[in-house]
Amino acid sequence: MGIAALLTVCLGTQAASAAEFEAASLKPSKAGTARGSMRMDSTRLTYTSVSVRDCIMSAWNVKDYQIEGPDWLRTDRYDLAAASGEPTEEDALKGMLKTLLLERFHMTVHLEKKDLPVYAMVVAKNGAKLKDAAAPGRPAIRMNGGGVVFTSVTIADLIDLMSRAHLAELDRPVVDDTGLTGRYDLTINLFGTQEEMMSALSKGDFGSSIFTLIQEQVGLKLEPKKLPLQVVVVDQAERTPSGN
């Protein structure tokens, strides 16, 4: 048996034995292609107008670029409401979501490692310009004049916020290769005033190259590389979910 086939069998076995939601509804969304929302608490998932790719990212803890499958996984929209019946840890809820997706979409998937082009965030030659968080806790971000102030962020938090900006320069995923594990307070100065910054950021403009800003002000560097990343490959899935 090949590795891909073995992983498929293992995934199927895990799904069969995993805990399931007490009640779940998964249907095509009447909202069409409207921007969706995803809410999760200890007893319930409420996803509105989301794609299957959105659900896979949540269930398998992967990014969009780590999913391969048919185009409709991105375009078709669904509403999902599921209840666990009792308070449940997040990882267990995601396991239940994984089981639900596999069963309702009659989905077959396997995991494999692939070399993907990425930007690796590394510490620049002169060292990182980071201060340990004065009050480690929940990460926060705020505007201050023409700059952005990050409080108690990890490197992963910083990368996530950069990725959400959808900058044209970042034409490939960014992964953390710094080896830095703490929480930090830092400021990135972009423009002279907040008005200038808000106008420019609405156009996806950071004023200067994001590569230059990160290296000069934070002491981190973005290097193009190819790294092995885990990919979720959807081998088969039906567009209309069953069980409703």
pLDDT at position 15? 40
Close Cβ partners of 129 (under 8 Å, ≥ 6 residues apart)? 186, 217, 218, 219
pLDDT of 16 higher than 90:
no
Q: What is the DSSP letter of 33?
A: T
In this prediction, residue 87 carries a pLDDT of 92
Residue 52 contacts residue 106 (beta carbons within 8 Å): no
190 with 146: CB under 8 angstroms? yes
Average pLDDT along the chain: 85
18 or 107: which carries more pLDDT confidence? 107
- pLDDT-derived band at 206, boundaries 50, 70, 90: low
Query: Band of the pLDDT at 43, cuts 50, 70, 90?
Result: very high
Cα–Cα distance for residue pair 94/21, rounded to 1 Å: 10
Task: Kindly provide the residue ranges of all beta strands, DSSP E only, lying in 133-242, ordered along the sequence.
Answer: 140-144, 147-153, 174-176, 184-189, 220-236
Query: How many Å is the Cα radius of gyration of the chain?
Result: 21
147-151, 168-172, 223-227: least confident range: 168-172
pLDDT attached to residue 9: 34
pLDDT category of residue 142 using cuts at 50, 70 and 90: confident
Confidence of residue 6 (pLDDT cuts 50, 70, 90): very low
Closest CA to 209 of 184, 185, 186, 188: 188
Helix ranges (DSSP H) in 28-175: 52-60, 72-75, 90-104, 155-164
Cβ contact 167:206 at 8 Å: yes
Task: Read off the pTM.
Answer: 0.67
Give 93-131 pLDDT, tens digit per residue: 999 999 999 999 999 999 999 999 999 999 999 999 999
